[in-house]
Structure formats: C-alpha cells, structure tokens
Amino acid sequence: MRPLDPRLLRYASAARWFLGIGAVLGFAQTLVVIAFSWLLSQVITLAVAGHGQAELAPYVGGLAAVVVLRAALVWLLEVAASRGAASVKSQLRTRVLRRVAEHGPDWLAGQQGARVSTLATQGLDALDNYFAKYLPQLLLAGIATPILVLVMLWQDLPSGITVIIVLPLIPLFMILIGQATQAVQKQQWESLQRLGVGFLDLVGGLGTLKIFGRERRQTDRVRTITEDYRARTMKVLRVSFLSGFVLELGASLSVALVAVSIGLRLVDGSLGLGVGLFVLLLAPEAFLPVRQIGVQFHAAADGLAAAEEVFLIIEGGPAGGPAGGTAVGTATEPADAAAPATHAPVTTPAGLLRFDGVTVRRGTNVTLPAFSATVAPGRFAVIAGPSGAGKSTLVAALQGFVPYTGSITLGDTTLVPGGPRPWLAWAGQRPGLLSGTIADNVALGAPVVDRALVARALDLAGGADMQPATALGVNGDGLSGGQAQRVAAARAIYRTLSDGCPVLVLDEPSSALDEAAEGRLIAGLRELAAAGTIVIVVSHRPAVVEAADLVLSVVPVAASPASVVSLGKDAHV
C-alpha cells in the first residue's frame, strides 16, 4: 500500500489537479508558519526588553493578519480536498462501471455482486478521509518540513542538525506501525465485504427460506459475521490509538531535545533570545506534518484498500477476461474517465450480419464451436438449441462480452470484442427494471423520454394495455413476470426506434407470456423486421420458432462432429 499510488493520478485527473492546488497552498502555508513564528518571537523579545505598545503594535497587527491568513489557507486546503475527493470518486466510479460493462455479465457472474457494489459505493467513499486528512499532510511533509529544517539550519545550526538526526525516527515508527495497520485494515475490509455479501444473499433468498421455515436459522449467521466485523473494527481502533500515542511521544521527545539544547545555550549566553524562540517555535511545525501522516494513515487505509481493488478491476484486461481464446480485437482503456472510449469510431453500420467460424473457449473447453451464419436485414431469426448448447454464449460474443476466434461482421465493419455496440439493442432474460414509471424503464438511458415512442415500443412488445405512467417499485415491483418481460422487450425496441439500431436481440422474451401476449409480441417483432431491422430472438417456444424466417440451430459441442452449426429453415451457413 503506497502513500500515493501513481495509478490514482493515471485514472483520475482530479487527483493531479488537487496535488497542484495542494502544493501551492502548502507552500503558502509554510511561508505563513515562518512569518508567524518570527513575528511571535519578535513580540515576546521586545516585550521582555521593555518596549512599549507603540513599538509592539506593528508586530501584533502583523501577527493577527498572519493568523487570519493561516486560517484561510487551512480552509482553502480543506475545500480543495473535499472537491478533489468528490471528483476522484466520480471518475473512478465511472471507470469501474465502464469496465464492468466492458467485461459484461459473463465476467460479473464470476464475481460477487455485493462485493463489487460495496467497493464502488462505501469503499470509494472512504477516499474522503484520504484526501481530506492524509494527502494534505503528505504534501506538507514534502514541502513544509524541508523548508522549515533549512530555515532552522540557517538560524541555529545545532538545532537544525538535531532535527535532521531525530526526524527519520518518526518515518521508521510509521513503517513498523503501518505494516500492522495494513494487516488489520485488510482483515476489516474483507469482513465488511463478507457482511455485505452475506446480507445480500440472505435478502435474496429470504422468500425461499421462509417457505421452508428456515429464516430464523440465518440469525446466528448474520450475528456471527456482524460480531466479526465489530471485533475487527475495534482492533483497528486499538492499533490506531496506540500508533498515535507512539508517534506523538516520539515527536514530543524530539522537540524536547531541541528545547533542551536551546535552553542550555540561552543560559550560557551563546544564543540570543529572539533566535532561540524563533527556532523553538519552528521545531514542532517541522515535525507536525510527518507526525500527522502516521496519525491519518489509519483514516486513509480503508480508501487505499478499496482503491487497490478498484485498480485491479480497471486493469483487469480486455472485456471477457482471460478465460477465452485469442480474441479478434481487444478493448483499450480510455485516457480519462470523461473521454470517449478509444475503440473504433462509433458508427451505425448496416448490411448483412455474418458469423464466420465464431468459436468461444473458456480455458481449454470449447463452449461454442465454429459457428457460421448470415442474417440479412429485414429477417426475423431465431437461435434455437438445447440448454447448454451455447446460445447465450453466441449472443455474448455478438455483444462483445466474450473473446472469440473467427469473425463477426456487420456490413463492411468487422466487430471486435469489447468494442462499442451503438448498432445493437438488446434485452436479456432478466428484465432488470428499476424504481420509477414504466415509461422511465422503457426509455432508460435516453436523455429525454419520448412519450409517443414509449407507447409505440410497448405496443410492438405486446404491452399496449400497460399504462406508461404506472409507478413501479424496486426491481419492477408491481408487475407480473410476463409484464416485466414485455417492458424489457419494449426498452430494447425503444432503443431500436430512437437510435436507429439495425440489430435487435432478445433473449427468451416470451418465456413467461401466454399465447395471446406472445402472439402480439411476435407480430410486433415481425413488423420491425419488415421495416429492415435484423431481429434475432433466443427462444425454445414453438410459436416463435414457427414465425421465424431463419432458424439458427446451435448444437452442443459433444453432439457436433462438425464445427459449423447453423441449420434450419431458410438458413444461411
């Protein structure tokens, strides 16, 4: 765990901005500290010498102005830290969400959803302490401490040498304490993630547990995990308090050495009172930033631990992860979170959709054999096959979520894994509805909700009887399974109509529909196909297969002696 990870500067431009502003404010604050110490020493020296108020007034006025200026600089540094933390968190969250989207559901299925959620929310929120408390002290230690030591050497060589000798002892204590802190902080972070994952699993399975009368048995499990998190949190606090005491003790003894040396030389007359007071006032200020680094390290440890995991996700390689074979192309990481992705230019190609020997491997296993097919615009195609044959894998390859060998082209454009898909509208098996109205869910992601287009999309999805203004709860609460499916299909159709997407893919859109609703959905999809859209549906339903212009039959690897498996009525192989 490094005090300032270079990756933070690479992935969050706001961190670079904060370091620049912080360095300027830190340098100004150092000059103010020197001015304060000099003015205060002069006021005391003149007062001891018996000078009157008239002679002391300019120094007292300057001292008051310096105090106000120092308070203003401290406030500005806190404001810059708060704004920098907010901007950095926003940029890192954007990068994490973008990388998760590039990895796709295939990668996310192998992760713990609650762990990723905790990381992107509460984990990154811990960076507030890192920017507000730790990083300013780190800047001051790099700017203020060297300048103050040089001033002390200039004014009083023995005191400066004493500080140079004892100052490294504090970082030595910090390293020893930091190793212990890192270990207990990591354990606390892992305990928090276990608590989040366990609680989410419990809430998700509460209905099933209640049906079988097992819900009360989970009380002890939640209590055990919570107690473990409490115990580890208290351990972190103990280490924090003890380390703070050690660092304070070390700094106090170091300042005491300087004070004793100055006192002895004041007694024998080898050092003037003004210089002695000036150096003595500077000594604690020289130790303060270094001491505060150790104290605030504990407050920043959570954020640093979370940032480390964020960097692992951001640097996790091309979409789809390492499990697949050699990909036709890879995704590149944008230079800045606010910049567009550095993939091929975003276009909306049109023309034939071709699969040429598309093969997907997970490790050494082939999950989709060499698949070849051609789907022309205006065709309604159905991907059929037994469970586990690779239908969803084929769709994931089309979406760019998994690496593959072979090629997929749309018109004259060769598609690459991880590249943008502005030409594709998609709805999966899970509706993925959010709290809000039906219209909000249908137009999800659109800058403006087009009410007429929402009604048109619902009509094509067989949901003309659903009111767009109907409010939904979390996860689409308030709708039946079939209604939720139609809203999800309408969302993909809305994107097709609003963005002019030439390809529409639906994964089992009618599994929860009755025959009448399914017939209306099929009629709407055929209407879209008649308008020139390539419509591809993954389905086992006989009515959907019967209505298709083209059936793409995906055969399991064990049952396929050949690699090319695109068969069915009016098929293109």
> How confident is the model over 366-409, as pLDDT tens digits?
788 888 899 999 999 999 888 777 888 888 888 888 888 889 99
The more confidently predicted of residues 573 and 425 is 425
Of 12-21, 182-191, 417-426, minimum mean pLDDT range? 182-191
Q: Which of 339, 390, 352 is nearest to 558 (CA)?
A: 390
CA 406 to chain centre: 33
**Helix H or strand E encompassing 50:** none
pLDDT tens-place string over residues 327-339: 333 333 333 433 3
Q: Are 408 and 357 in contact (CB under 8 A)?
A: no
Q: How far, CA to CA in Å, does 390 sit from each of 371, 454, 538? A: 10, 33, 11
b/e map of 256-293 (b: 16 or more CB within 10 Å)? eebbebbeebbeeeebeebbbbbbbbbbbbbbbbbbbb
Q: What is the pLDDT of residue 340?
A: 36
φ/ψ bin of 351: left (φ > 0), alpha (ψ from -120 to 50), beta (otherwise): left
Q: How long, in residues, is the chain?
A: 573
Residue 544 three-state SS: helix
What is the reported pLDDT for 492?
93
Amino acid at position 96, single letter: V
- Please say if the pLDDT value at position 296 is more than 80: no
How would residue 479 be classed by pLDDT, with cut points 50, 70 and 90?
confident
- The mean pLDDT value of the chain amounts to 79
Mean pLDDT of 533-545: 91
Q: Which amino acid is at 458?
A: L
- Burial, 144: exposed, middle or buried (Cβ in 10 Å; 0-12, 13-18, 19+)? buried
Give the DSSP per-residue string, 469-525: T-EE-GGGTTS-HHHHHHHHHHHHHHHHHHHT-SEEEEESTTTT--HHHHHHHHHHH
Q: Structure tokens of 385? A: 């096959």
Residue 365's pLDDT is what? 77
Residue entry with tokens 């608590």: 195
Query: Do the beta carbons of residue 124 and residue 342 sit within 8 Å?
Result: no
Start-to-end C-alpha separation, the chain: 54
pLDDT, position 54: 84
Above 80 in pLDDT, residue 484?
A: yes
Tokens of 281: 């006032």
The domains of the chain are located at 6-314
Average pLDDT over every residue of 220-232? 79
Predicted local confidence at residue 268, as pLDDT: 82
Q: What is the pLDDT of residue 3?
A: 65
Burial class (CB in 10 A: 0-12, 13-18, 19+), 4: middle
Could you tell me the CA-to-CA distances from 569 to 105, 378, 382 in Å, in that order?
A: 31, 16, 10
- One-letter-per-residue 3-state SS of 226-289: HHHHHHHHHHHHHHHHHHHHHHHHHHHHHHHHHHHHHHHHHHCCCCCHHHHHHHHHHHHHHHHH
pLDDT category of residue 439 using cuts at 50, 70 and 90? very high
| Domain 6-314 class, CATH top level | mainly alpha
Q: Is the pLDDT of residue 349 over 80?
A: no
Which amino acid type is present at position 561? Answer: P
Confidence check: pLDDT of 27 > 80: yes
